[in-house]
Amino acid sequence: MDLSHTHVLIVEDDKRLSRMMADMLKAESYQVSCVYDGLQAIQQINQVIPDIVLLDMMLPGCDGLQVLKEISPDFLGIIIMITAKKDEFLEVSALNLGVHDYITKPLRPHILSARLRALSRLNHNHVQTVSDKNLLKVQDLTLNVNSREFCLANESLQLSAAELEIMSYFMHHPGVVLNRDMLVSEVRNLEYDGFDRSIDMRISSLRRKLKDSQPPYKYIKTVRAKGYILVQE
């Protein structure tokens, strides 16, 4: 694992200990920065967004538990709580607030290093999974669920709101025949009366934008008397 792009924020008011941890981590190629109170920690975590936070429990400004309550819920980095005393109540509280690990002083550098590497591997897999869940991929079509960007072979296409809804529904159900009734009710929240041809018009428009307007279709095929299907491969 390449650690040169991994940013560790050390939150520790004991500057000697902070410097010792920073030197150790820099020797292992981590990028390191240090702050010395809880208020600075909140600001740095929310603005800089480090990959790993080593967070002391007892801090000036506000303690470690308060820091955990104040940081953004969108923060996906690793947080390791460091404390001078073993306290089961504090440990449970910290874990309930999102801490990944809980270490008591005195620190053993080789143990801290091993835990950081193990947690980094787990977190990398988790972030990759979250990222993958936001992307729908069928053939060379990609839809980013969050940004609503739709791409054909890495080329971003401009779709209307209705076209985007239809494409999203197809990409959530690849390889499944979808009839007009299903598409109208799911995409437009309307009941299909048997005469509504707006879905057909939208699909014709989509095919043109996909450069697939002539049969045999590569992406959205017509299934006679049944509806449409987004071909998986």
CATH number at residue 45: 3.40.50.2300
Same domain, 101 and 201: no
Which residues, in sequence order, are CB contacts of 94 under 8 Å at separation 6+?
57, 64, 65, 68, 81, 102
Q: Which residue has the tokens 């790993």?
A: 52
* pTM metric for this prediction: 0.54
Indicate if the pLDDT at residue 186 is higher than 80.
no
**What CATH number does residue 189 fall under?**
1.10.10.10
Listed residue (38, 30, 78, 29) closest to 57, CA to CA: 38
111-128 confidence digits (pLDDT tens): 888 888 888 776 655 555
Least confident of 31-35, 59-63, 117-121, 200-204: 117-121
Same domain, 15 and 129: yes
The identity of residue 152, as a single letter, is: L
Look up the domain containing 186 and give its range: 136-230
Q: What is the arithmetic mean of pLDDT over 160-172?
A: 87
Largest CA distance in the chain: 77
- Tell me the C-alpha to C-alpha distance, in Å, between residue 216 and each of 66, 207, 213, 231: 61, 11, 9, 12
What confidence score (pLDDT) does residue 75 get? 78
Total number of domains in the chain: 2
What confidence score (pLDDT) does residue 50 get? 87
